[in-house]
């Protein structure tokens, strides 16, 4: 899928080393980085969808979606971009709803984000995600967001 100079492509196994590097950058404070082995195992699961974010021919980020067993929802588990502040993440987030609708046939996308990650929360809210609860991870508060997707 394409949107304003970025493209989401199915992640290839040879991209995983670069994906691990991206997780060690600015995003490290806001995610629990996976090992290369964990990414390999996740990529092979039938209910996990990895998409690489490309700007022109450059890999600039990735995202992970997980199909909920309810057949209705998708967990937007992770998005990481290598060069924050250029709009790649926001444009990719905007594509996720369309991807869930057209490729995955799911009507709801949900995610969690650390309460202290004001930048991400702002972007999610700009993209139409609404808070619906809170959770906790290792003593840190997570805000839960969701977005309803219109199915064809």
The strand order across the sheet containing 108-114 reads 2-3, 6-10, 48-55, 58-67, 73-81, 108-114, 140-148, 130-137
Predicted model pTM: 0.91
pLDDT for residue 152: 64
> Measured between alpha carbons, how far is 9 from 121 in angstroms, rounded to an integer?
25
10 Å Cβ neighbour count for 125? 12
Average pLDDT, the chain: 91
pLDDT single digits (tens) 85-134:
788 988 999 899 889 989 999 999 999 999 999 989 999 999 999 999 99
Query: pLDDT tens, 46-58?
Result: 999 999 999 988 9
């Amino acid at each position: 899928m394409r949107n304003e100079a970025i493209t989401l492509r199915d992640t290839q196994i040879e991209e995983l080393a670069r994906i691990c590097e991206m997780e060690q950058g600015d995003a490290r404070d806001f995610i629990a980085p996976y090992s290369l082995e964990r990414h390999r195992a996740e990529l092979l699961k039938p209910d996990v969808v990895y998409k690489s974010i490309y700007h022109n021919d450059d890999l600039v980020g990735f995202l992970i979606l997980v199909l909920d067993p309810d057949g209705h929802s998708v967990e937007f588990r992770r998005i990481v971009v290598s060069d924050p502040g250029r709009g790649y993440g926001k444009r990719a987030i905007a594509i996720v709803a369309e991807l869930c609708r057209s490729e995955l046939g799911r009507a709801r996308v949900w995610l969690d984000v650390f309460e202290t990650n004001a930048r991400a929360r702002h972007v999610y809210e700009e993209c139409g995600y609404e808070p619906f609860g809170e959770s906790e991870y290792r003593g840190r508060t997570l805000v839960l967001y969701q977005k309803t997707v219109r199915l064809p």
